[in-house]
Structure 1
């Protein structure tokens, strides 16, 4: 049995700082997932849990509040949700592979890294920067507590298990969040 990976258990803080801490965790987990000497199975399970918990907390609390505060547009929030769905889909591909020492695994990890790194960069530029500039510290602190509470509840509920990730991807497909058509034609 592998050693559990610490994903942090924040309970409060500025929501921007909490999100950025998770972004750095994503980058570290992706590095470990690429490392053939690491416990890749444990890493992919930890990464799946963090990805789902983080995305659910953002979509339930952060994006709606930032829209209400006019810090981000409806389009930016929807685009963030689409990118979460793409990340879940890429994560599912990694989870579904039997072994972690195959070319198929390496290819799936490469695709996951591409999707996640794109989202982290875009979110930091188009969502977190406006939140820093447009949203008062008190609101960001309240939002941080809501984000952390939801994130931790998701982790406690084993949100990253393959069946849940599969359910999330299927729901995203039904909702049209994973529509590949016109992806590059967005303005």
Structure 2
């Protein structure tokens, strides 16, 4: 695994749990920019938690918020598109051989750009409505379901490069990412 301790909550308000992961992403991005940090370990930790977090949101949180009319189909789909963009940027970072190259630094910044945009938007358009339009009881229930799925995915090594490749390929097939025939 990594030298990074990834928190594994099992319950809580889903909004607070998601926000805690967002702060973790930001801390890991700072380490990825720090030449004195263990960048390989930070990359592995970010990959694991980012994939587990996003996949758990898409399967456990977004559909429930849609059913509660807290978010629209469009907001959920947009969130999934942004996860796909972040996953594609993550894959580029995972494919960097070394962690002390300009290619690596550029890949970190591409991922940071995608992630920071998504975090800001998700906190405003998905988490705020969840706070105001969904009961504490439902948020706690969603928190438990999201945390269980996130932990299951962490245990299943969801952040492995092979799994990230599969997730990105699936996003292309589903039209969440634009075709990139010229890259193949």
CA displacement at 1:37 relative to structure 2: 0.6
Q: Deviations over 1:112-147 (max 9, x none)?
A: 000000000000000000000100000000000000
Q: Which residue of 1 aligns with 2:84?
A: 85
Q: Secondary structure at the match of 1:37?
A: coil
d(CA) in 2 for partners of 1:74 and 1:180?
Answer: 23
RMSD: 1.2
Q: Deviations over 1:62-108 (max 9, x none)?
A: 00000000000000000000000001000000000100000111001
Q: Secondary structure at the match of 2:61?
A: helix
d(CA) in 1 for partners of 2:142 and 2:159?
Answer: 23
Q: Which runs of 4+ in 1 moved over 3 A?
A: none
Normalising by structure 2, report the TM-score. Answer: 0.96
Q: Which residue of 1 aligns with 2:6?
A: 7
1:148 paired with 2:147, answer yes
Normalising by structure 1, report the TM-score. Answer: 0.94
Q: Deviations over 1:152-184 (max 9, x none)?
A: 000000000000000100000111101279xxx
d(CA) in 2 for partners of 1:40 and 1:104?
Answer: 14
Q: Secondary structure at the match of 2:120?
A: helix
> Which ranges in structure 2 are unaligned for 5 or more consecutive residues?
none
